[in-house]
Amino acid sequence: QVQLVESGGGLVQPGGSLRLSCAASGSILSIYKVHWYRQAPGKQRELVAFITSIGSTNYVDSVKGRFTISRDNAKNTVYLQMNNLKPEDTAVYYCKVFKSGVDYWGQGTQVTVSS
Contact by Cβ (8 Å): 14, 115: yes
Question: Tens digit of pLDDT for each residue in 47-74?
Answer: 999 999 999 999 999 999 999 999 999 9
Tell me the pLDDT of the chain averaged across its residues: 95
pLDDT given for residue 28 in this prediction:
83
d(C-alpha 80, C-alpha 52), whole Å = 14
pLDDT of 27 strictly over 90: no
CA dihedral 7, 108, 82, 49 (to 10 degrees): 130
pLDDT band at residue 26 using 50, 70 and 90 as cut-offs:
confident
